[in-house]
Amino acid sequence: MGRLPRFADQDPDESYYDPAFDGVVRRLRQGGCQLAEGQGVLTTLLGSCVAVCLRDTHLMIGGMVHFVLPGTADGIAATLAEYGPYPYGEPAMTELYQRLMARGAAPRKLEAKVFGGGEVVSVLGPIGWRNIECVETFMRDYGIPIVASDLGGTQSRRVYYQASSGRAWVRRKGDGATKGDGATSGADPIDRPSARLGPGRITTGNPTGEGR
């Protein structure tokens, strides 16, 4: 991929052709859950929310879910109905897991890549960190390894994920490059395990130390 994908956070279309991928990119909005089709790419924009990408490494099928809060008891009275059918962490990840099982995926063949959880809305407290903990608990309970992540920090980020290949790219807002496993020339790989460094701090595979 020789061209940068557009940030596309204000684009109203649900899907669009992106020359950076030479194919159709489908946008996943807050509270959404989507399986990838063929060679298609899924993308979503994240702040404190978290995107979870699950993939069966044998069948090479997968999808993405974008949740807003870890659960309903998070001290926020406003309804999240406007944020799609799956705004909460565990129900959202369970839905994605069950959709993959319905396609014939095997639990022991699943891998996860997770993104987001930034502390970008300080008035809500450490929502990003609680979202990250929610993902880690779910994956531990289900025995699914997290093989790559870009989590924490204070920037919003756009994530691109191609389930057929298992490749992912992250572009932080304001950055001049996309970080990913082959996304651009000289891009930083993110396909490596994360490690906990304390609240809101996760290693991301970014050797510059940004977000730590």
Question: Along the 212 residues of the chain, how does pLDDT read in single tens digits?
Answer: 444 444 444 444 588 888 888 888 999 999 999 999 888 999 999 999 999 999 999 999 999 999 999 986 555 544 555 667 899 999 999 999 999 999 999 999 999 999 999 988 666 678 899 999 999 999 999 999 999 999 999 889 999 999 999 999 998 876 555 555 433 322 334 443 333 322 233 333 332 223 32
Residue from 33, 49, 53, 134 carrying the catalytic annotation: 49
Looking at residue 205, the DSSP 8-state letter turns out to be S
Q: Note the pTM of the prediction, 2 decimals.
A: 0.78
Pairing of strands 61-67, 50-56: antiparallel
Per-residue confidence (pLDDT) for residue 184, from 0 to 100: 31
Say if residue 49 is exposed, middle or buried (CB neighbours under 10 Å; 0-12, 13-18, 19+): buried
Per-residue confidence (pLDDT) for residue 120, from 0 to 100: 80
Q: Is 49 a catalytic residue?
A: yes
- Give the other-Cβ count within 10 Å of 55's Cβ: 27
Provide CB contacts within 8 A for 156, sequence distance 6+.
Answer: 9, 45, 46, 47, 118, 120, 172, 173
Q: How many angstroms separate the CA atoms of 23 and 194, rounded?
A: 30
Per-residue confidence (pLDDT) for residue 5, from 0 to 100: 47
